[in-house]
């Protein structure tokens, strides 16, 4: 049977229900602003059919279970469960199942069932506003025959009757006796309840409200903590607690009251409670603070619930307020219409002014367009001149760069040339002294051997190349790396350990310095002119063959 209840349609509704409950719970748990809570209530009222459908599915499940029963005791039990589901939902259905139980009680001649049935009937008649009929039933019940459980229900019925009579009459001249009776029955109910339970705390509040309001308030706060949000019990407890807060001081208490009324109304919708007061009280509260639109909407919802449940005295209560709210709503609507008419007139005037301004602007735009065309032509001429100037500036910058670089090279090499000349003068002076000493000493043969040895020349050439390498790489420290980038990877130069430049690299180093004559390069490197020519011919080895290789070398910078 559970599988019958959990249909695919019900699962979808349950998912939507869980989503709405989570949204509501988050707002409630985090003490959200009242605007957020009102939005939650609006959403739940819009989707209240989800809760109604789930309630109906639960009732249908119980009906199907009832149809399969044969034992009177089981039928009576299920009927009571259905009565509980309909209790604050559909009064006619409650009466129908109370009648079913009456027939079962008569058939089985069960005295407790008969008495419980009369109490259930009295309770629903009082809830729907048939007070005299409810009172007749209560007066006819023999109290001495009631067991403990039924006595508790009897006192609850009596208390409910007196409370409803007090609300219905609403005249201080006549409600005194009903109030007195209500408090008396509340004390009686308390004597049958277990201390500390949510029921006991709620009825303790009812008993203490007239004499010990602070204790009564504390009982309600404790009760609210112990019960589940979204139930009929929670709705009633929140509504009662809202009565303690002052809505006129404009401070925290007004916000507390509003929050409790909203939570009570939400719980009524979630528990499918049609016999309620929270939504109407919330509408009255919002009407006082100026939220006419919501007050009117909630009043209509409350009226629909009262009509659906057939709560006659609720209709009477709502009927007293409905004209006031409706009148205010109508006045607000009329004011909005007048404002809309003024806005329409204003918009029309603005439209006319806009048309005039548009025509004037269009004329000015045409004039501006002509002026812009003239400016564009002038801009084109200026741009052309700027481009020419830019080319000239680039050429000038290039010349300046080359001059600056040439000056740096000249300065560096003049310094190094002077150092080199000074070194060679020192060497000549040293050799001159050596030759003089050898001649004076008569060591001519030894002197001849020293002069004819090739090691002296090679040593000086090696010294010259080291001097050149150091000077050049000081000016162009990344020359070898940048030079290799100009060549294909398989043609890269890989120098030996402690080798700075080789003969071929020195060739292109001289070219970078501006020395392009093969004879001069060959003389400096002490090789043949053909060898220099072969070094300079890099066709097929360079990465970029579209440009002269030596021009690329000349652009290598330090």
Domains annotated on the chain, with CATH? 2-239 (1.25.40), 453-554 (no CATH)
In three-state secondary structure terms, 484 is helix
Continuous H helices in 486-537:
503-512, 518-525, 529-536
**pLDDT value, residue 166:** 86
At 247, list the tokens: 């809505």
Residue in the block written with tokens 């070398």: 553
Asked whether the beta carbons of 520 and 512 are under 8 A apart, the reply is: no
> Burial, 476: exposed, middle or buried (Cβ in 10 Å; 0-12, 13-18, 19+)?
middle
Find residue 542's DSSP bridge partners. Answer: 487
Distance CA 86, CA 78 (A): 12
> Burial, 95: exposed, middle or buried (Cβ in 10 Å; 0-12, 13-18, 19+)?
middle
**pLDDT value, residue 547:** 81
Distance CA 499, CA 493 (A): 11
In three-state secondary structure terms, 462 is helix
Q: Rounded to 10 degrees, what is the CA torsion of 145, 149, 155, 160?
A: -130
Total number of residues shown for the chain: 558
Cα 531-536-539 angle, rounded to 5 deg: 120
The torsion angles phi and psi of 278, rounded to 5 degrees, stand at: -60, -45
**pLDDT value, residue 81:** 95
Distance CA 385, CA 393 (A): 12
Distance CA 239, CA 384 (A): 84
Residue in the block written with tokens 């002509």: 370
**pLDDT value, residue 9:** 52
Sign of CA dihedral 384, 388, 390, 391: positive
How many Cα atoms sit within 13 Å of 131 on the Cβ side? 17
Segment (H or E) for 124: helix 111-127
Cβ count within 10 A of residue 9? 10
Asked whether the beta carbons of 496 and 503 are under 8 A apart, the reply is: no
Distance CA 353, CA 350 (A): 5
At 226, list the tokens: 């112990």
Is-above-0.95 flag for pTM? no
- Residue by residue, pLDDT tens for the chain (558 residues) are 333 333 445 544 454 455 455 445 444 433 447 888 899 999 999 999 999 999 999 999 999 999 999 999 999 999 999 999 988 888 889 999 999 999 999 999 999 999 999 999 999 998 888 889 999 999 999 999 999 999 999 999 999 999 888 888 877 888 889 999 999 999 999 999 999 999 999 999 999 988 898 999 999 999 999 999 989 999 999 999 998 887 666 667 888 888 999 999 999 899 998 877 888 888 888 888 878 888 888 888 887 777 777 765 555 555 555 555 555 556 666 566 777 777 888 888 888 999 999 888 888 888 888 888 888 888 888 888 888 788 888 877 776 776 666 566 666 666 666 566 667 677 777 777 777 787 887 777 777 777 666 677 788 888 888 888 888 888 888 888 888 888 888 888 888 888 889 888 899 889 888 888 988 888 888 889 898 888 888 756 777 777 888 888 888 876
Distance CA 280, CA 419 (A): 109
**pLDDT value, residue 15:** 46
**pLDDT value, residue 7:** 44
Question: Within its chain, how far is the Cα of 42 from the centroid?
Answer: 22
**pLDDT value, residue 414:** 61
**pLDDT value, residue 3:** 39
Q: What are the angstrom distances between the C-alpha of 108 and each of 72, 136, 223, 471, 503?
A: 8, 25, 39, 126, 128
Cα 138-140-143 angle, rounded to 5 deg: 75
């Amino acid at each position: 049977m559970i599988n019958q209840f959990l249909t695919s349609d019900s699962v979808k509704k349950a998912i939507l229900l869980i989503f709405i409950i989570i949204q509501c719970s988050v707002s409630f748990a985090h003490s959200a602003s009242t605007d957020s809570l009102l939005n939650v209530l609006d959403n739940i009222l819009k989707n209240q059919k989800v809760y109604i459908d789930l309630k109906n599915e639960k009732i249908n499940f119980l009906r199907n279970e009832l149809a399969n029963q044969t034992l009177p005791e089981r039928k009576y039990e299920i009927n009571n469960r259905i009565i509980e589901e309909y209790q604050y939902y559909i009064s006619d259905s409650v009466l129908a199942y109370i009648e079913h139980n009456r027939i079962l009680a008569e058939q089985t001649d069960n005295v407790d069932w008969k008495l419980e049935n009369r109490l259930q009937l009295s309770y629903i008649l009082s809830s729907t506003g048939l007070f005299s009929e409810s009172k007749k039933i209560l007066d006819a019940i023999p109290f001495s025959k009631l067991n403990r459980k039924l006595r508790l229900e009897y006192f609850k019925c009596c208390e409910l009757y007196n409370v409803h009579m007090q609300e219905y009459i609403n005249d201080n001249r006549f409600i005194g006796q009903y109030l007195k009776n209500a408090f008396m029955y509340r004390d009686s109910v308390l004597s049958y309840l277990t201390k500390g339970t949510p029921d006991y705390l709620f009825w303790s509040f009812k008993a203490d409200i007239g004499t010990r309001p602070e204790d009564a308030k504390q009982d309600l706060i404790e009760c609210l903590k112990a019960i589940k949000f979204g139930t009929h019990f929670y709705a009633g407890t929140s509504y009662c607690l809202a009565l303690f807060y002052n809505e006129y001081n404009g401070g925290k208490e007004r916000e507390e009251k509003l929050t409790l009324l909203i939570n009570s109304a939400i719980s009524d919708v979630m528990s499918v409670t049609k016999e309620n007061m929270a939504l109407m009280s919330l509408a009255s509260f919002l009407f006082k603070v100026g939220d006419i639109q919501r007050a009117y909407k909630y009043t209509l919802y409350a009226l629909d619930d009262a009509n659906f449940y057939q709560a006659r005295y609720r209709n009477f209560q709502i009927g007293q307020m409905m004209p006031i709210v409706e009148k205010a709503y109508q006045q607000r609507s009329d004011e909005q219409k007048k404002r809309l008419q003024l806005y329409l007139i204003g918009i029309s005037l603005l439209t006319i002014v806009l048309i005039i301004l548009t025509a004037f602007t269009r004329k000015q735009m045409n004039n501006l367009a002509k002026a812009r065309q003239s400016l564009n032509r002038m801009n084109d001429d200026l741009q052309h001149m700027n481009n020419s100037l830019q080319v000239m500036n680039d050429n000038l910058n290039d010349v300046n760069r080359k001059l600056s670089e040439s000056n740096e090279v000249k300065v560096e090499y003049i310094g190094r040339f002077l150092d080199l000349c000074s070194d060679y003068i020192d060497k000549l002076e040293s050799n001159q002294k050596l030759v003089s000493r050898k001649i004076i000493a008569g060591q001519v043969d030894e002197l001849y051997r020293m002069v004819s040895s090739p090691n002296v020349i090679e040593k000086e050439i090696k010294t010259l190349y080291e001097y050149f390498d150091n000077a050049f790489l000081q000016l162009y420290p990344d020359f070898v790396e940048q030079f290799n980038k100009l060549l294909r990877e398989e043609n890269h130069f890989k120098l030996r350990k402690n080798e700075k430049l080789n003969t071929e690299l020195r060739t292109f180093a001289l070219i970078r310095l501006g020395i392009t004559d093969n004879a001069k390069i060959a003389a400096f490197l002490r090789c043949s002119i053909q060898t220099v020519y072969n070094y300079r011919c890099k066709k097929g080895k360079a990465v970029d063959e579209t440009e002269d290789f030596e021009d690329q070398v000349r652009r290598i910078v330090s």
